[in-house]
């Protein structure tokens, strides 16, 4: 860690337009890889793996307008091998984003519409009797893919929700005592509607804790919505990504190289302590009845490393931690009933915690 700067104050003040601003927006922003946190140019050639992943965001932008923070969050999840909970009202391009991302990364994707009558075997697969061989054979379910889009995951009963737990944690499916590995990479991108709760089954805390990030997809701004309509007026078909010009610009090899590079990102002891202090502060917040677990602290560490690498730095700064705190922690805490009645928002409390926990200097 000899290359790690000892004074983080300059980084916090001069990393303009970056992590600190994104804390207020509750989103991960676009990594700025052409300049260092101190405003200077990076030396040497650009990392090919990093450049290929940044190209992915440009490809997704050919189909999806105004969701760059969510695309970056999905890339961070892929770099960390974690799952993502996407929350947004219908019509903000959640499905289109996942399809465009998988196309740009040359990854397989499958979509499952979660409904009250969906059975576990409909997701994981099941044994089917083969009349020709007079034997039972395993028929793979849609979970055998690289990116599983679990649409409206909270509309299916807990039994079916639980069928994903083994896949999410162990990257395998066990049927009739036989464990079958899932393809690599594998992540779940599950969607939820933040408005309509009638007829839903809230995800248990144990399952929520296994999602690396919870990303909110807002309605587009006026200019962005005009661009969406302009594209449709020009003949854009969301079911035909090839016609939109979305093409593969990276693959499993580039993603594997990127993961190896992220693992080499250094983290100073002061940053590790800062992450722990932020997490521990959620456990003593008066408005929370449930704080963040150690798994959440590990998730915040790993996502901060991925964000630092995407930003072109070999070390983690406090701004990286702040940038990922909301999407990484917001689904791992529980509000007290009285706080819910008062209309207190989780993101507001997390923002107050970030403002109160001393930053390493």
**Is the separation of the CB atoms in 141 and 149 below 8 Å?**
no
263-304 pLDDT tens trace: 999 999 999 999 999 999 999 999 999 899 999 999 999 999
237-262 pLDDT tens trace: 988 999 888 999 999 899 999 999 99
pLDDT of residue 203: 85
**Tally of CB atoms within 10 A around 314:** 14
107-116 pLDDT tens trace: 999 999 999 9
The rounded percent of the chain whose pLDDT value lies above 70 is: 86
Specify the higher pLDDT residue, 15 or 268. 268
Q: How confident is the model at residue 38 (pLDDT cuts 50, 70, 90)?
A: very low
Helix, strand counts (H, E) of the chain: 15, 11
**Is the separation of the CB atoms in 83 and 98 below 8 Å?**
no
**Tally of CB atoms within 10 A around 76:** 30
Q: How confident is the model at residue 3 (pLDDT cuts 50, 70, 90)?
A: very low
74-117 pLDDT tens trace: 999 999 999 999 998 888 889 999 999 999 999 999 999 999 99
CA–CA dist 42, 137 (Å, integer): 55
């Amino acid at each position: 860690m000899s290359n790690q700067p000892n004074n983080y104050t300059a980084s916090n003040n001069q990393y303009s337009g970056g992590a600190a601003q994104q804390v207020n927006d509750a989103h991960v922003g676009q990594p700025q890889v052409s300049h260092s946190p101190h405003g200077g140019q990076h030396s040497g050639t650009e990392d090919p793996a990093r450049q290929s992943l940044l190209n992915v965001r440009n490809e997704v932008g050919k189909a999806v307008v105004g969701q760059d923070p969510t695309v970056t969050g999905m890339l961070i999840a892929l770099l960390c091998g974690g799952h993502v909970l996407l929350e947004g009202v219908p019509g903000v391009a959640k499905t289109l984003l996942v399809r465009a991302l998988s196309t740009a990364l040359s990854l397989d994707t499958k979509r499952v519409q979660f409904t009250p009558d969906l059975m576990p075997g409909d997701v994981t697969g099941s044994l089917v009797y083969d009349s020709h061989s007079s034997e039972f054979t395993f028929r793979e379910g849609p979970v055998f893919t690289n990116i599983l889009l679990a649409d409206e995951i909270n509309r299916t009963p807990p039994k079916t929700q639980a069928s994903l737990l083994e896949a999410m944690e162990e990257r395998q499916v066990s049927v009739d005592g036989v464990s079958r590995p899932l393809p690599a990479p594998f992540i779940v991108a599950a969607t939820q509607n933040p408005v309509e709760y009638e007829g839903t089954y809230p995800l248990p805390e144990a399952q929520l804790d296994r999602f690396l990030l919870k990303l909110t997809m807002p309605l587009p701004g006026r200019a962005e919505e005009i661009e969406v309509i302009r594209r449709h007026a020009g003949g854009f078909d969301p079911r035909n990504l090839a016609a939109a010009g979305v093409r593969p610009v990276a693959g499993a090899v580039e993603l594997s190289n990127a993961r190896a590079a992220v693992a080499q990102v250094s983290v100073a002891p002061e940053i590790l302590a800062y992450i722990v202090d932020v997490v521990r502060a959620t456990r003593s917040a008066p408005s929370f009845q449930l704080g963040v677990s150690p798994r959440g602290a590990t998730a915040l560490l790993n996502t901060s490393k991925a964000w630092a690498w995407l930003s072109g730095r070999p070390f983690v700064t406090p701004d990286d931690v702040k940038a990922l705190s909301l999407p990484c922690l917001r689904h791992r805490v529980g509000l007290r009933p009285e706080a819910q009645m008062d209309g207190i928002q989780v993101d507001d409390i997390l923002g107050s915690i970030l403002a109160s926990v001393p930053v390493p200097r």
